[in-house]
Amino acid sequence: MTDAAPSWFGPGTDSGLDEDLEAIDAPTTQPRSSSSSGDSSGPDTQLFFQQERRRAERSGENSAFVRLFRAFLLARAALGVALVLALLGAGLFGASAPRWTIALVLGYAAQALSLRLFRPLQQGATVQTLSRVSSPQWWASMGLDLAVFGVLHALGQGASINYGALFVLPVLMAGVLTPRLVALATAAMATLLMLGVAGWTLLSGADVGLRMTEAGLVGAGFFAISLLANEMANRLRREQQAARGSLEYARQQAQLNRLVIDEMQEGVMVVDRRGRVRAANPAARILLAEAPQRPVRAAPFQLRGVAAWEPLVAAVEQAFAAGAWPEAGRDVTLRLANGQPRALRLRMRFTQRRASKTSEDVCVLFVEDKRQVQQRSQQERLAAMGRVSVGIAHEIRNPLAAIAQANALLAEDSTDPRAQQLMRMVASNVERLKRIVDDVMELAPGHGMAESQPVDAGELVAQACLDWARTNGLPPGPDDPLTCSVPLQPLVVRFETEHLRRVLVNLLDNALRHAERAPGCVQVALSADPRAPAERALLSVFNAGAAIPPEVERHLFEPFFSTRSRGSGLGLYICRELCERHGAGLEYRYRAAQADTPAGNEFVVRLRLHSATASPSTEPQS
Output the pLDDT for position 54.
55
Model confidence at 18, in pLDDT bands (50, 70, 90)?
very low
> What SS3 string covers 269-304?
EEEECCCEEEEECHHHHHHHCCCCCCCCCCCCEECC
Handedness of CA 496, 498, 502, 508 (dihedral sign): positive
Output the pLDDT for position 486.
92
Whole-angstrom CA distances from 160 to 90, 214, 463 are: 8, 18, 120
Whole-angstrom CA distances from 208 to 160, 163, 567 are: 20, 19, 120
Beta strands in 388-520 (DSSP E): 453-456, 482-487, 492-495
Residue-wise pLDDT tens digits, 255-284: 887 787 777 878 888 888 888 888 888 888
Residue-wise pLDDT tens digits, 101-117: 888 989 999 999 998 89
Residue-wise pLDDT tens digits, 371-389: 887 777 767 776 776 677 6
Tell me how crowded residue 400 is: count the other CB atoms within 10 A of its CB: 18
Whole-angstrom CA distances from 96 to 436, 440, 606 are: 119, 113, 106
Tell me which of 25 and 461 has the higher pLDDT. 461
Mean pLDDT of 67-91: 87
Model confidence at 465, in pLDDT bands (50, 70, 90)?
very high
Output the pLDDT for position 170.
92
Asked whether the beta carbons of 590 and 537 are under 8 A apart, the reply is no
Output the pLDDT for position 189.
92
Q: With 80 as the cut, is the pLDDT of residue 6 above it?
A: no
- 330-335 and 536-544 strand pairing: unpaired
Instruction: Supply the angle between the helices 180-200 and 168-177 in degrees, to the nearest 10.
Output: 160
Q: Give the DSSP H/E element, type plus range, for residue 381.
A: helix 370-413
Model confidence at 223, in pLDDT bands (50, 70, 90)?
very high
Output the pLDDT for position 432.
72
Could you tell me if residue 294 is left (phi over 0), alpha (psi between -120 and 50 degrees) or otherwise beta? beta
Q: With 80 as the cut, is the pLDDT of residue 59 above it?
A: no
Q: Which residues are bridge partners to 456 per DSSP?
A: 492
Mean pLDDT of 233-256: 83
Note the pTM of the prediction, 2 decimals: 0.42
Residue-wise pLDDT tens digits, 343-366: 888 888 887 654 545 455 788 888
Collapsing DSSP to helix, strand or coil, 479 comes out as coil
Model confidence at 537, in pLDDT bands (50, 70, 90)?
very high
